[in-house]
Amino acid sequence: MKKLDWYILRKLLTTFFFAIFLFAVIAIVVDVSEKTDDFVKSQLGFTRIITQYYFGFIPHIIALLFPLFVFIAVIFFTSKMAGNAEIIAILASGTSYSRWLRPYWVGGIFLGLLLWLANQYVVPKANVIRGNFEARYIDANSSYDALLQKGSTLYFRVDSFTYAGIYMYDTLNKRGGPLFVYTLKDQKATYNMRADQILWDTAQKKWKLEGILERKIEPMREKVEQALNRHIAYDFRPQDLVRDKYTKDKLTTPQLIRQIRIEELRGSEGLNALKVERYRRDATAVTVLLLTLIGGIVAGRKVRGGSGVHLALGFVMAALFIITDRFSTVFTTKGNLHPMVAAWIPNFVFVWVIVYLYRKAPK
């Protein structure tokens, strides 16, 4: 890393962090103006609103637009450099075009890793804070709130041969019932169990069943047993029974991987949405690097119109990227496109865009 690299890298980082800070302030102001009435109705103090809502809202909104602001920051400061003939001077001094792009590589990798770490652990925890606050104080008619108050009926697979169902499960009190469980072997029922109620015992970390009627079916006989209550360590926990469409956004990556395995075992529908989220957390980090290189190459050419032309072209490319991403997501959630392919298609497309722009760039 030489003075030239540090010069460009410093411009990249300072422009980006200033832009993202300014945007975060604007986003908070707009959000406060929209939710003022809800905050007043919640009867929470200023400190609790900050800690219970904005500690989750700020990381969420920053991560959402992180790649776009990296792109805008790169185009902005590189266009200024091109307008001041700095890039012409750099290339005229004998510096090769690929060597000039080295700090863009370094900056893109650094910011990409930063977003990658945030997407794996920080943003999901922030979404838990934000989602819980909105479900309780803002979105009174959300599916999450309805689930808490009215309960829901769940059907799922416990293991390869055992299936279960819980009627009217309440996620708030972690109880429901009646419960039924049955086991199949060679397409025949070998075990059947009914319980009037199932609830989570926080002390023993097991499920407590009450009013149990158990049937063990053998080829020539049937054994029936009754019990008032029993503790059973099933391979599912209360958080696994929550049916919230935003759950995938609230899980850290290790938790998301575990959730995917559980849903695969259950034979649940909608698995592709979970898998796309899993792969997209990795793909978005690479997107930051690609957009950094595209921004540098596009804005590095001095054109009539200056930064305005570069920004307009940048927004067009960003729009194309978002459209490609949305289409690939629809094809995997509604069709048969593999989730990994869907998550990485935009990056594959823009790699070729980079190759084309690099070859056409004046060197």
Report the alpha-carbon distance of residue 296 to residue 329 in Å, rounded.
Answer: 28
Is the bond leading into 178 cis (omega within 30 degrees of zero)? yes
Residue 212 has pLDDT above 50, yes or no: yes
Residues 339, 332 contacting (CB under 8 angstroms):
yes
Pick the more confident residue, 147 or 131: 131
Specify the length of the chain in residues: 363
In sequence order, what E strands does the chain have?
152-157, 162-169, 175-176, 179-185, 188-201, 206-217, 222-232
Q: What is the pLDDT of residue 305?
A: 58
pLDDT single digits (tens) 48-71: 889 888 999 999 999 988 988 899
Q: CB-based contacts of 27: which residues, under 8 Å, 6+ apart? A: 58, 61
Parse the chain into domains and list their residue ranges: 3-140+271-360, 159-234
Say what the pLDDT of residue 306 is: 59
Coil vs helix vs strand at 82: helix
User: What pLDDT band is residue 118 in, cutting at 50, 70 and 90?
Assistant: very high
What letter would DSSP give residue 184?
E
pLDDT of 148 reads 43
| Mean confidence (pLDDT) of the chain | 82
Q: What is the CA radius of gyration of the chain?
A: 27
Lowest average pLDDT, out of 81-95, 114-128, 273-287, 310-324, goes to 310-324
- pLDDT for 43 beyond 70: yes
For residues 205 and 186, is the Cβ–Cβ distance under 8 A?
A: no
Sign of dihedral through CA atoms 120, 324, 57, 244?
negative
DSSP assigned state of 306? T
- Which residue shows structure tokens 């979970």? 274
Return the pLDDT at 310: 66
At residue 144, the pLDDT reads 42
SS3 205: coil
3-state secondary structure 213-269: EEEEECCCCEEEEEEEEEEECCCCCHHHHCCCCCHHHHCCHHHHHHHHHHHHHHCCC
Quick check: 276 and 333 in contact, CB under 8 A?
yes
Terminal Cα distance for the chain, rounded: 21
Q: Number of C-alpha atoms within 13 angstroms, CB side, residue 282?
A: 12
Mean pLDDT, residues 233-251 taken together: 74
Whether the pLDDT of residue 13 is over 50: the answer is: yes
Q: Decide: 171 and 180 in contact? Cβ < 8 Å.
A: no
Between CA 69 and CA 242 the distance in angstroms is 34
Which range of 44-48, 146-150, 242-246, 325-329 scores highest in mean pLDDT? It is 44-48
- Helix pair 271-299, 339-360: axis angle to 10 deg: 10
Q: What are phi and psi of 169, to 5 degrees?
A: -85, 130
Distance CA 175, CA 101 (A): 59
Q: How confident is the model at residue 107 (pLDDT cuts 50, 70, 90)?
A: very high
SS3 177: coil
- Are the C-beta atoms of residues 6 and 107 closer than 8 Å to each other? no
**Weakest-pLDDT range from 44-48, 80-84, 148-152, 236-240:** 148-152
pLDDT value for 113 = 95
The phi, psi pair for 181, rounded to 5°, reads -140, 135
The per-residue pLDDT for 88 is 84
User: Side chain identity at 83, as an amino acid letter?
Assistant: G
**210 near 195, Cβ under 8 Å?**
yes
As to burial, measured by CB atoms within 10 angstroms (0-12 exposed, 13-18 middle, 19+ buried), residue 223 is exposed
pLDDT digits (tens, 9 = 90+) for 179-199: 888 888 877 888 888 999 988
Judged against a pLDDT cut of 60, whether residue 146 lies above it is answered with: no
Q: Can you give the pTM of this predicted structure? A: 0.75
Q: What is the mean pLDDT of residues 304-322?
A: 70
What CA–CA distance (Å, rounded) separates 16 from 4? 18
